[in-house]
């Protein structure tokens, strides 16, 4: 590759942003990565369950290689959004020819239920960030009780159940699922981490209760139950007495409790199953009941951050329905439905484009495709003149207005400090859990 000809800002250094950055440099762009967190990696660093050390180490090595690319600069601890350190318009006005937004799904999906603000009600992302040691979540106390209702049936629910059962060793984890056992989204591998705590009599009773609904929707409960139980032979040995059980066909309608004592129950509406155009939907029956719980955790996916100021639909930033630079028929171009116009020079990828959808590999592919779309756009533009000067001026301005911008040199110091601590303690990894500790290690 020759000298870079274009200047692109990538906002977010999770898997989508990092893999996009590499592809962009291969196509002749100079990339500046802006990242809210000090460290790169996004949910690969702060979402994937801590004990998946091999996977995390492998991803970190790939990210490190990308970050070492000469045409990629890194500004960590820089939040781009209204109320942050810099806004999208600043980037567009500072000479960046395109901005690729890969900020993930950082907003909370509120169901607007009565009681949703009570003490003891949490959203999974915050707990996930807490146990993965992302400041400031790592420094907050999450008061988890003995009986925890977890709403949702995806792999995030399984990660939360894993934490509650194996780390917090709570008495009971009740998974509240709005559809039936055939519609759960978690994988068998994740069930293996907590399957040893599954209370089989409770599961039998629950299958018996929901079988008529399943049969009415054309499902065979015996087949679905066998799939459910197939993870158990490989389940890892239990480390707690936690009772792990499911409540199917139940949609939360209210969280009961008070401000002094917190949550005491989750009120749910019973559902039946309805087959519509090949999809199974939940339909409320009007019957309600209460599930005793002192903590409720919503693991129902997330939404994007409103403060970024790009229109949102279906929990993600809106992409143009008429892309000028589609890749694989997918639109990566930000769009304003109010004006029916694209948001010029702004592109989307990863969970910012499709909130809470897919694994790291999916985010990687999305980032790489978005980079192709950005490059296709850039090729319609004249190459940038005086690029080095522009980059220097921008970097100088940012460092002048924001005193704790983390660059690649700082990250190397942080990595060395954490590795030294791990070695001292004789553990495979060590993470500094507060910004202050990290800044000290980086020499601020």
Ligand X SMILES: Cc1cc2nc3c(=O)[nH]c(=O)nc-3n(C[C@H](O)[C@H](O)[C@H](O)COP(=O)(O)OP(=O)(O)OC[C@H]3O[C@@H](n4cnc5c(N)ncnc54)[C@H](O)[C@@H]3O)c2cc1C
Ligand Y SMILES: NC(=O)c1ccc[n+]([C@@H]2O[C@H](COP(=O)([O-])OP(=O)(O)OC[C@H]3O[C@@H](n4cnc5c(N)ncnc54)[C@H](OP(=O)(O)O)[C@@H]3O)[C@@H](O)[C@H]2O)c1
Which residue(s) pair with 83 in the sheet?
none
From the list ligand Y, ligand X, none, pick the one residue 143 interacts with, judged by a Cβ distance below 5 to 8 Å according to partner type: none
Question: Which of residues 179 and 431 has its CB atom nearest to ligand Y in the complex?
Answer: 179
What is the pairing mode between strands 316-317 and 312-313?
Answer: antiparallel
- 239-258: which residues touch ligand Y (CB under 6 A)? 251
Range list of β-strands (E), 145-278: 147-151, 172-176, 243-247, 250-258, 262-276
Please say whether the beta carbons of 126 and 115 come within 8 A: no
Q: Output the CA angle 334-33-82, nearest 5 degrees.
A: 55
348 scored as a contact of ligand X (CB under 6 A): no
- 164-193: which residues touch ligand Y (CB under 6 A)? 178-179, 183, 185, 190
The three-state secondary structure class of 269 is strand
From the list ligand Y, ligand X, none, pick the one residue 76 interacts with, judged by a Cβ distance below 5 to 8 Å according to partner type: none
Interface segment toward ligand X; rule CB under 6 A; list 253-261, 264-272, 336-344, 358-366: 358-366
**Residue-level length of the chain:** 444
Question: Which of residues 105 and 319 has its CB atom nearest to ligand Y in the complex?
Answer: 105
Q: How far is CA 202 from the centre of its chain?
A: 31
Q: Which two tokens stand for residue 132?
A: 């993965």
152 scored as a contact of ligand Y (CB under 6 A): yes
| Measured distance CA(344)–CA(440) in Å, rounded | 40
One character per residue 187-226, x = contact with ligand Y (rule: CB under 6 A)? ---x------------------------------------
| Measured distance CA(254)–CA(251) in Å, rounded | 9
Q: Would you tell me how many other CB atoms lie within 10 Å of the CB of residue 417? A: 18
List Cβ neighbours of 420 (8 Å cut-off, separation of 6 or more): none
270 scored as a contact of ligand Y (CB under 6 A): no
From the list ligand X, ligand Y, none, pick the one residue 179 interacts with, judged by a Cβ distance below 5 to 8 Å according to partner type: ligand Y
Residue 129 CB-density burial (10 A; 0-12 exposed, 13-18 middle, 19+ buried): buried
Q: Which two tokens stand for residue 417?
A: 């400090």
91 scored as a contact of ligand X (CB under 6 A): no
Among 27, 42, 107, 252, binds ligand X (CB under 6 A): 42
By beta carbon distance, the residue nearest ligand Y is 154
Q: Which two tokens stand for residue 311?
A: 């229109």
Q: Which two tokens stand for residue 77?
A: 């601890």
CB of 313 to ligand X, least distance (A): 17
353 scored as a contact of ligand Y (CB under 6 A): no
The three-state secondary structure class of 387 is helix
Among 6, 34, 137, 335, binds ligand X (CB under 6 A): 34
37 scored as a contact of ligand Y (CB under 6 A): no
| Measured distance CA(366)–CA(16) in Å, rounded | 6
DSSP, residue by residue, 315-333 = TEEPBPSS-SS-BTTB--E
155 scored as a contact of ligand Y (CB under 6 A): yes
358 scored as a contact of ligand Y (CB under 6 A): yes
Among 35, 77, 211, 320, binds ligand X (CB under 6 A): 35
157 scored as a contact of ligand X (CB under 6 A): no
CB of 179 to ligand Y, least distance (A): 4
Instruction: Please provide the distance, in angstroms rounded to a whole number, between the alpha carbons at the two ends of the chain.
Output: 35
DSSP, residue by residue, 124-140 = HHHHHHHHTT-TTGGGS
Q: Which of 4, 2, 3, 1 is nearest to 96 (CA)?
A: 4
Interface segment toward ligand Y; rule CB under 6 A; list 163-171, 236-244, 258-266, 293-301: 293-301
156 scored as a contact of ligand Y (CB under 6 A): yes
Interface segment toward ligand Y; rule CB under 6 A; list 257-265, 287-295, 299-307, 435-443: 299-307
From the list ligand Y, ligand X, none, pick the one residue 165 interacts with, judged by a Cβ distance below 5 to 8 Å according to partner type: none
CB of 128 to ligand X, least distance (A): 4
| Measured distance CA(157)–CA(262) in Å, rounded | 22
136 scored as a contact of ligand X (CB under 6 A): no
- 298-337: which residues touch ligand X (CB under 6 A)? 305, 308
Q: Which residues form the interface with ligand Y (CB under 6 A)?
A: 111, 151-157, 159, 178-179, 183, 185, 190, 251, 299-301, 356-359
Q: Which residues form the interface with ligand X (CB under 6 A)?
A: 11-17, 34-37, 42-44, 47-48, 52, 79-81, 84, 102-104, 106, 128, 156, 159, 305, 308, 350-351, 358-360, 362-363
């Amino acid at each position: 590759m020759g000298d870079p000809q274009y200047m692109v800002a990538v906002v977010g250094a999770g898997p989508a942003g990092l893999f996009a950055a590499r592809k962009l440099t291969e196509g002749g762009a100079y990339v500046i990565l802006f990242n809210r967190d000090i460290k790169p990696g996004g949910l690969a660093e702060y979402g994937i369950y801590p004990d998946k050390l091999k996977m995390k180490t492998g991803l970190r090595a790939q990210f490190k290689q990308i970050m070492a690319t000469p045409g990629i600069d890194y500004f960590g601890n820089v939040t781009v959004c209204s109320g942050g350190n810099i806004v999208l318009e600043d980037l567009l006005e500072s000479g960046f020819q395109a901005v690729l937004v890969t900020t993930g799904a950082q907003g909370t999906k509120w169901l607007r239920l009565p009681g949703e603000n009570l003490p003891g009600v949490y959203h999974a992302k915050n707990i996930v960030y807490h146990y993965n040691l992302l400041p400031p979540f790592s420094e907050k106390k999450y008061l988890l009780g003995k009986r925890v209702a977890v709403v949702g049936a995806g792999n995030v629910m399984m990660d939360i159940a894993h934490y509650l059962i194996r780390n917090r060793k709570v008495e009971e984890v009740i998974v509240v699922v709005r559809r039936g056992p055939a519609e759960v989204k978690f994988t068998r591998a994740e069930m293996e981490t907590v399957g040893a705590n599954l209370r089989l009599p409770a599961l039998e009773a629950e299958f018996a209760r929901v079988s008529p609904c399943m049969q009415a929707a054309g499902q065979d409960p015996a087949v679905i139950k066998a799939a459910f139980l197939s993870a158990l032979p490989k389940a890892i040995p239990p480390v707690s007495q936690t009772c792990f059980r499911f409540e199917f066909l139940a949609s939360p309608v209210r969280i009961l409790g008070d401000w002094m004592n917190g949550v005491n129950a989750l009120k749910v509406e019973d559902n039946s199953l309805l087959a519509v155009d090949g999809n199974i939907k939940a339909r409320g029956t009007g019957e309600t009941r209460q599930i005793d719980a002192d903590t409720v955790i919503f693991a129902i996916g997330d939404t994007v951050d409103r403060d970024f100021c790009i229109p949102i639909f279906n929990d993600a930033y809106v992409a143009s329905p008429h892309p000028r630079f589609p890749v694989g028929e997918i639109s990566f171009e930000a769009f304003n439905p109010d004006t029916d116009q694209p948001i010029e020079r702004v592109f989307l990828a990863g969970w910012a484009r499709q909130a809470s959808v897919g694994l790291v590999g999916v985010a990687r592919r999305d980032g790489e495709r978005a980079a192709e779309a950005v490059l296709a756009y850039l090729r319609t533009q004249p190459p940038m003149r005086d690029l080095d000067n522009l980059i220097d001026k921008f970097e100088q301005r940012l460092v002048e207005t924001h005193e704790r911008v983390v660059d690649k040199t700082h990250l190397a110091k942080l990595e060395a400090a954490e590795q030294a601590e791990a070695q001292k303690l004789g553990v495979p990894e060590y993470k500094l859990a507060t910004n202050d500790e990290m800044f000290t290690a980086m020499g601020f």
